[in-house]
Amino acid sequence: MDMNTACIHAGYQAGNGEPRNLPIALSTTFPYDSTEEVARLFDLTEDGFFYSRIANPTCDACEKKIAALEGGVGALLTSSGQAANLIAVLNIASAGDHIVASSTIYGGTVNLFSVTLKRFGIDVTYVSPRSTPEELAAAVRPTTRAFFGETVANPALAVLDIEKFAAAAHAAGVPLIVDNTFPTPVLCRPFEWGADIVTHSTTKYMDGQARIVGGAIVDSGRFDWAASGRYPELTEPDESYHGVVYTRDFGAAAYIVKARVQLMRDLGAYPPATNAFLLNESLETLPLRMAQHVKNARAVAAWLQGQPGIAAVHSPELESDPDHGLAEKYLPNGCCGVISFEMEGGREKAAALLDHLKLARIEVHVADSQTCVLHPASSTHRQLTDEQLAAAGVEPGLVRLSCGLESADDIIADLGQALEAVA
Ligand SMILES: *Cc1c(COP(=O)(O)O)cnc(C)c1O
């Protein structure tokens, strides 16, 4: 199935006389006739639903669709993007371990890594996405368990050189985890460039209508955990499942099966079936929506570049952008609908501009059907130190603009009247 078809049909196809739409299995549990059968489910020797904290038929169909879109062997839905990145890392890192992350990643992920994972005893080293291969190699320790980056960073819009990061990770015997939230698989499929695990905040374009917070982890099935020798949690018996060995018993799906049956079982961050139903429905229109977001972002960025009062416009799609070459390579059909710009006059001018916008609302959100704006330095990134702000590529006068699905002319007219008002 190509992308357009998979967005509609992957994961669920109605059988003869069955519901055309994915049914919502609003059920916590699934009854069985024999204790034998339930025992086999608990030993993971038989496949089947038994409790909706671990798996649910509606979620399962949506997971299969997302796995198909990314080209992975399996996916796990989570209750948020935060939970996706948490579980993606915890699945292969424990106290005493270490991860290497690109410094431009989402502020929420920086908090997760620098505050909470640190309290769990997992250390993180941040590296510039522009690091040389030698610099990336120098960040590796004997305890390193993963590299992490975002295809298109929120909100810095830096493009990850996926091949370079994958090569550095693989040379160290560890996988590359890529948060692919902004491009979605419609615009970039990180597995095709060497990434091993992909995560998503489905809250953004995948839902696309600002209805449901959610996340997903996708496993490429290509990382050789046994060959690496660094992952006893995958290659040695799990006593909580009568000695299951994930790599031996689940082969290419070892990572994603363990994430579900061990971590999701214990952490309980699984979404309800209703959310998976809505997400699955949203995914049907993802290619159409991404094309319109990209078209609008291009038109607005081009217009902003010529406006007085604008110090800089950032989008990897602009030729002036340092990541333009990377964008052409990894994102030939566009990066996403999010761009950013810097106001002359810094923090105060940026805040004043936002107060004058009418169509574009101030929202702690991006990547949905309605155009919205945010001033990161006073909101999402206010907990970061100046040094961290600089490392994340966030200037005080930076405005993040998420171009929705409205007409580009109306978005531009709104920006125009607000720029005039603050001139
Ligand atoms: C929003 C976001 C997250 C966090 O996702 P939630 O669904 O808000 O928990 C993680 N990574 C990126 C790139 C994001 O944009």
Ligand 1: nearest atom to the Cα of 213: 7
Domain-terminating residue out of 281, 310, 326 = 281
Q: Is residue 176 domain-shared with residue 238, that is, in the same domain?
A: yes
Mutate to test the pocket of ligand 1, among 82, 89, 381 (most ligand atoms within 8 A of CB): 82
Ligand 1 centre distance from Cα of residue 420 (Å): 33
Count Cβ atoms below 10 Å from residue 139 Cβ, excluding itself: 19
Residue 392 has pLDDT above 90, yes or no: no
Determine the structural domain holding residue 263 and report its residue range: 3-281
Tens digit of each residue's pLDDT (9 = 90 or more) over 401-422:
999 999 999 999 999 999 999 9
Tens digit of each residue's pLDDT (9 = 90 or more) over 324-359:
999 999 999 999 999 999 999 888 899 899 999 999
Q: Is residue 221 domain-shared with residue 310, that is, in the same domain?
A: no
Residue 224 has pLDDT above 70, yes or no: yes
Q: List, chain by chain if needed, residues with CB within 6 Å of any ligand 1 atom.
A: 80-82, 106, 108-109, 150, 154, 179, 181, 201, 203-204, 213, 215
Query: In angstroms, what CA-CA distances link 210 with 203, 279, 335, 365, 371?
Result: 7, 11, 20, 8, 11
Q: Is residue 344 domain-shared with residue 220, that is, in the same domain?
A: no
Q: Is residue 114 domain-shared with residue 76, that is, in the same domain?
A: yes
Residue 387 has pLDDT above 90, yes or no: no
Tens digit of each residue's pLDDT (9 = 90 or more) over 88-125:
999 999 999 999 999 999 989 999 999 999 999 999 99
pLDDT of residue 39: 92
Ligand 1 centre distance from Cα of residue 32 (Å): 38
Q: Is residue 392 domain-shared with residue 270, that is, in the same domain?
A: no
Ligand 1 centre distance from Cα of residue 41 (Å): 33
Ligand 1 centre distance from Cα of residue 222 (Å): 25
Report the CATH number that the domain containing residue 361 is assigned in CATH: 3.90.1150.10
Mutate to test the pocket of ligand 1, among 188, 203, 212 (most ligand atoms within 8 A of CB): 203
Q: Is residue 268 domain-shared with residue 294, that is, in the same domain?
A: no
Domain-terminating residue out of 281, 303, 338 = 281
How does residue 167 score in pLDDT terms, banded at 50, 70 and 90? very high
pLDDT > 70: percent of the chain: 99
Cβ 316 vs Cβ 335: under 8 Å: yes
Ligand 1: nearest atom to the Cα of 366: 15
Ligand 1 centre distance from Cα of residue 80 (Å): 7
Alpha-carbon distance 127 to 102, whole Å?
Answer: 5
Q: Is residue 257 domain-shared with residue 301, that is, in the same domain?
A: no
Q: Which amino acid residue places its CA nearest to atom 1 of ligand 1?
A: 201
pLDDT of residue 393: 67
Ligand 1 centre distance from Cα of residue 151 (Å): 13
Q: Which amino acid residue places its CA nearest to atom 8 of ligand 1?
A: 81
Domain-terminating residue out of 258, 281, 304 = 281
pLDDT of residue 382: 75
pLDDT of residue 52: 97
User: In total, how many domains does the chain have?
Assistant: 2
Ligand 1 centre distance from Cα of residue 417 (Å): 31
Ligand 1 centre distance from Cα of residue 263 (Å): 20
pLDDT of residue 386: 67
Mutate to test the pocket of ligand 1, among 104, 110, 111, 154 (most ligand atoms within 8 A of CB): 154
Ligand 1 centre distance from Cα of residue 197 (Å): 16
Ligand 1: nearest atom to the Cα of 153: 13
Ligand 1 centre distance from Cα of residue 82 (Å): 6
pLDDT > 90: percent of the chain: 90
Q: Is residue 275 domain-shared with residue 300, that is, in the same domain?
A: no
How does residue 140 score in pLDDT terms, banded at 50, 70 and 90? very high
Q: Which amino acid residue places its CA nearest to atom 2 of ligand 1?
A: 201
Alpha-carbon distance 12 to 99, whole Å?
Answer: 36
Count of alpha carbons within 13 angstroms of residue 34, beta-carbon side: 3
Q: How many degrees, rounded to 5, is the angle at CA 381 between CA 327 and CA 313?
A: 40
Q: Is residue 243 domain-shared with residue 199, that is, in the same domain?
A: yes
Q: Is residue 240 domain-shared with residue 332, that is, in the same domain?
A: no
Q: Which amino acid residue places its CA nearest to atom 4 of ligand 1?
A: 81
pLDDT, mean of residues 175-200? 98
Residue 17 has pLDDT above 70, yes or no: yes
* Average pLDDT score, the chain: 95
Q: Is residue 90 domain-shared with residue 190, that is, in the same domain?
A: yes
Q: Which amino acid residue places its CA nearest to atom 15 of ligand 1?
A: 154
pLDDT, mean of residues 11-15? 97
Q: Is residue 147 domain-shared with residue 130, that is, in the same domain?
A: yes
Ligand 1 centre distance from Cα of residue 39 (Å): 37
pLDDT of residue 379: 81
Report the CATH number that the domain containing residue 61 is assigned in CATH: 3.40.640.10
Tens digit of each residue's pLDDT (9 = 90 or more) over 245-302:
999 999 999 999 999 999 999 999 999 999 999 999 999 999 999 999 999 999 999 9
